[in-house]
Structure 1
Amino acid sequence: MLTSSPNTIFDQTSIFALNTTNSLIGLAIYVLAVVALWRIFTKAGYPGWLAIIPIVNAIFLVKIAGFSGWMSLLYLIPIVNIVFHIIVAIRLGRAFGHGGFFSFFLLVVFWVIGYLIVGFSDDKYRPERI
């Protein structure tokens, strides 16, 4: 008789190992995102340590994109959050002198790589570009 639940110690061990691997990958991505956002925040004139706190970094990223911090509440609405994230990414890229193509693909799709490029490049933050 076959069951779909993990019954043996080997099945439970492989599930635990998979969860550990996913946790380590998630932690590595979070650390890279914090490093990149730290540089972006300091370029924009905000303290870099704000990148460490998860919800606060989203609020200040929205402020860097030229919106009010209260607009970050739009991230809580299911379909609106996707559209708002694209708008914030395009405006953030424009504030650092990048076009829409760069902003969409590297700040929305491959966001960690895009934030690292914006953070460690020689781009200057100019809010009048928004």
Structure 2
Amino acid sequence: MLFFSLLILSSMWVVFNKAGRSGVISIIPIYNMYILLEISGKPGWWLILMLIPGVGFVFHLLAMLGLAEKFGRGSLYGLGLFFLPMFFFPMLGFGESQYQG
């Protein structure tokens, strides 16, 4: 479990760098989700909605779909970011995808 957490964290660091943000932000809890929403092209106030059980599920999914779109990936990739982040974040971060936001 720790391995996957570190893998996702290091991948988010690279994703933030690709989007022109400091990778250090990826290790700051809650603020990293706020910046991830901005990178995804979603409003920052969605973070509040993401903290509500049930509602947060939907808004987190929409944020991951937006993130995939901003990196030139499709909806299926966004679903992968949501359901299997331990595989899809490293592919996004360390792969050839470029931020198109």
TM-score, length basis structure 2:
0.93
Other structure's SS at 2:66 match: helix
In 1, are the aligned partners of 2:9 and 2:26 still within 8 Å (CA)?
A: yes
Structure that is richer in helix per residue = 1
Question: 4+ runs of 1 displaced by more than 6 Å?
Answer: none
Match of 1:86 in 2: 61
Does the alignment pair 1:73 with 2:73? no
In 1, are the aligned partners of 2:70 and 2:99 still within 8 Å (CA)?
A: yes
Equivalent residue pairs, number: 101
Segments of structure 1 that go 5 or more residues without pairing to the other structure are: 1-24
Query: Which of the pair has more CA radius of gyration?
Result: 1
Q: What is the identity percentage for the equivalent residue pairs of Structure 1 and Structure 2?
A: 34
Between the aligned partners of 2:77 and 2:46, the Cα distance in structure 1 is 23
Segments of structure 2 that go 5 or more residues without pairing to the other structure are: none
In 2, are the aligned partners of 1:36 and 1:112 still within 8 Å (CA)?
A: no
Aligned pairs (5 A) from 1:1-130? 25=1, 27-104=2-79, 106-127=80-101
Between the aligned partners of 2:72 and 2:95, the Cα distance in structure 1 is 11
Q: Residue 60 of structure 1 aligns to which amino acid in structure 2?
A: I
Q: Residue 109 of structure 1 aligns to which amino acid in structure 2?
A: F
In 1, are the aligned partners of 2:42 and 2:66 still within 8 Å (CA)?
A: no
Q: Residue 103 of structure 1 aligns to which amino acid in structure 2?
A: G
Higher relative contact order by CA 8 Å / sep ≥ 6: 1 or 2?
Answer: 2
